[in-house]
Structure 1
Amino acid sequence: PVRYSTGPVFEKIWSYLKENVTYGKIITYGELAKICGTSARVVGFAMASNPLPLYIPCHRVVAKNSIGGFTANNGRPMIKWKEYLLKLEGSL
């Protein structure tokens, strides 16, 4: 197993996302923040810090009125990849 920790808040966000936002589902940054007891900005930081983007499906977290952002571990924006994954899963 891979263990990557940046603190209990990120772990709570990632855990909820893995267990509850499954294939074909999406959730907004705000909804995830409310469930996890934090802010949408912290959820965004957690998504940007995601060490395993397909295992922890950060592509399923979207903005309220748009697809939102998506950044690979190398720091490059990869919004087309997020669009592709969401279309593949039938969420977009």
Structure 2
Amino acid sequence: MPLHIVWQNVADGEESLLAVPLLNAELILTMAGEIITDASWHVGGELTKTLSPHAVSVQSYLLNPMQTELHVTLLSQGSVYANTVWSALLAIPIGQVETYSGLAETLGSGPRAIAGACRNNPYAGIIPCHRVVAKRGIGGFMGQADGEFVALKHRLLEYERGLGLDRE
């Protein structure tokens, strides 16, 4: 997969925010120097029109993930368990989904614990927690059971399905 993550234990440098517009939302990257310390979705409001080169790279990857390489440096955070779940999320192919219970079975855990790790994912725009769904329905997204973030989850999944990658 063309996503390359380098994990750093310490983030220093001047803090800045980068906005990456996508699917009527923005992925806000919180940076400490060159290290991303948070990548969370925001919905509502006016979208950024001028993008930094780094934001353009992230946007290009999100729009065309199999044709674009993305190299990011992320701050290592979260529990050992959360990191195990987040690694499993990275293994879910683009255009496909896994259920909370299916992922729980794979990891020898419980569905609620998986949901908690997804909810606490500081890199929701890079580590694809939107690809985890309920057995019946879409499930929540970014701590919401319905509303704007769940609508964004629908858009993200539909966009990825439209890429046709699950048929290769």
TM range (shorter): 0.7 to 0.9
Matched with 2:161 is 90
Q: Shift of the alpha carbon at 1:77? A: 5.6
User: After the TM superposition, which segments of 4 or more aligned residues of structure 1 sit over 3 Å from their partners?
Assistant: none
Aligned partner of 2:115 among 24, 28, 44: 44
Aligned residues: 87
| Alignment RMSD (CA, Å) | 1.7
For 2:94 and 2:129, the matched residues in 1 are separated by: 12
Taking only the aligned residue pairs, the percentage that are identical comes to 34
- 1:19-30 equivalences in 2 (<5 Å): 20-30=91-101
The residue type paired with residue 52 of structure 1 is Y
Stretches of structure 2 that go unaligned for 5 or more consecutive residues are 1-72, 163-168
Quote how far apart the aligned CAs of 1:42 are.
Answer: 0.5
- TM-score scaled by structure 2? 0.49
Residue number in structure 2 paired with 1:68:
139
Highest RCO, 1 vs 2 (Cα 8 Å, sep ≥ 6): 1
- Aligned residue number for residue 16 of structure 1: 88
2:129 is matched with 58
Distance 2:107 2:136 in 1: 21
Shift of 1:4: 3.2
Would you tell me which structure has more helix in proportion to its own residues?
1
1:48-90 per-position Cα deviation (integer Å, ceiling 9, x unaligned): 1010112110000000010001126xxx861110000000011
Shift of 1:40: 0.4
Structure showing greater Rg = 2
Gaps of 5+ in 1: none
